Amino acid sequence: MRVLAAMSGGVDSAVAAARAVAAGYDVTGVHLALARNPQTYRTGARGCCTLEDSRDARRAADVIGIPFYVWDMADRFHEDVVDDFVAEYAAGRTPNPCLRCNEKIKFAAVLDRAVALGFDAVVTGHHARLGADGLLRRSVDLAKDQSYVLAVLTREQLDRSIFPLGDSTKAQVRAEAAERGLAVADKPDSHDICFIADGDTRGFLAGRLGEAPGEVVDASTGAVVGSHSGAYAYTVGQRRGLHLDRPAPDGRPRYVLSITPKTNTVTVGPAEALDVSDVHAVRPVWTGGARPDAPVECEVQLRAHGDVVPATVALDGDRLHAELRRPVRGVAAGQAVVAYRPDPAGDVVLGSATITG
């Protein structure tokens, strides 16, 4: 089997590629150049798209002994991930760009190109299990589990994906990298958003969307309690950075309850007002077996690394409805609701959909 290993320059994808070789695949390494101007992306240890990362990936491919190329995916990435990220915030939603990148770039544009060029599958260093049964499961390393950002993948995409790391902890992956002589063994993990160089999402959005001063309104009284320079910069559930002029009458902290792009208003209120028991979502994908006709008892996760709650999930055409057993605080539109079936061999991803409210 000929497989294409997507190599970010980090330790995970390097070990994943090495394991694919060890498993007997004919492996070719590819680094995705996602930045239109790589200098503006995060440097070194923290990101995945800089020139230094590209060099690290190349070096890892050399050590593993596989051919290596750089694929220019910058235009696709900007349209499908960066522009989408900005548009989602502008619409008052909270996008997850890693998820979008998996859905549109790694397991779409890259996978399609790979298949057209004669490859059978794409190998990545995601922490998730995908076994012979074709089911996507959480990694054994729950702290590193990435099944949430992979849950958007369709059956066809999963059938052409290989995740060699799902049975290992991050510590094991690092140890193996060191054993294999991969210099990235102790490279720090990447976090945050690779295309926001300084980690300042608000500043990035302000640069793209411009300043748009507006009011912060109290949900119960309707009183204006502060101002903001762009409603798009807020996320439901956010408490810090509100800069309210007046404390709440009851003296308790206030949170962002909703964002209304039309009126450019941020509405705030007490923590309880964030509680949600009904989650509505659209564009479901269902990969954990046949698409169910009847409601399913399962668990749901509503954001990356978020809590897991028992729920009843029902599908209806292009919609998904999750009734939560206990309320969850701070559910943001634009994030994914992912349904899991608890399983001792790793919780199984049943399906996912995009939260609308």
Partner 1 sequence: MAYLDHAATTPMLDEALEAYVATAREVGNASSLHAAGRRARRRVEESREQVAAVLGARPSEVIFTGGGTESDNLAVKGIFWARRSARPDRRRVVSSAVEHHAVLDAVDWLSQHEGAEVGWLPVDAVGRLDPQTLRAELAAHADQVAVVTAMWANNEVGTVQPVAELAAVAAEHGVPFHTDAIQAVGQVPVDFGASGVAALTVTGHKLGGPTGVGALLLARDVPATPLLHGGGQERDIRSGTLDTAGIVAFAVAVETAVKGQQEYAARVAALRDDLIERVRQAVPEVIYNGDPTDRLPGNAHFSFPGCEGDALLLLLDAQGIACSTGSACSAGVAQPSHVLLAMGADDDRARSSLRFTLGHTSTQADIDALIAALPAAVDRARRAAALRTPR
| Choices 66-74, 149-157, 285-293, 328-336; region in contact with partner 1 by CB under 8 A | 66-74
Rounded Cα gap, residues 29 and 13, in angstroms: 10
Q: 277-293: buried (b, 16+ CB within 10 Å) or exposed (e) per residue?
A: eebbbeebbbbbeeebe
Which residues, other chains included, contact 354 with Cβ-Cβ below 8 Å and sequence gap of 6+?
281, 282, 283, 334, 335, 336, 337
Q: Which stretch binds partner 1 (CB under 8 A): 105-113, 125-133, 228-236, 266-274?
A: 105-113
Q: Is 194 a catalytic residue?
A: yes
109 touches partner 1 (CB under 8 A): yes
Q: Which is nearer to partner 1, 37 or 250 (CB)?
A: 37
Instruction: Work out whether 1 is an interface residue with partner 1 (CB under 8 A).
Output: no
Contact string 67-86 vs partner 1 (x = CB under 8 A)? x-xxxx-xxx--x-------
Tokens 């209120």 -> residue: 269
Q: Applying CB under 8 A, does 8 fall inside the site for partner 1? A: no
Does position 59 bind partner 1 by CB under 8 A?
no
113 binds partner 1, rule: CB under 8 A: yes
Q: Which contiguous run of DSSP H or E holds residue 178? A: helix 170-179
Q: Which amino acid is at 263?
A: T
1: number of Cβ within 10 Å:
12
User: Is there binding between residue 118 and partner 1 (CB under 8 A)?
Assistant: yes
Residue 21 within binding range of partner 1, rule CB under 8 A: no
Q: Which of 24, 39, 211, 250 binds partner 1 (CB under 8 A)?
A: 39
Amino acid at the residue 14: A
Q: Which positions are annotated as active-site residues?
A: 101, 194
Contact footprint for partner 1 (CB under 8 A): 28, 33, 37-39, 51, 54, 67, 69-72, 74-76, 79, 109, 112-113, 116-118
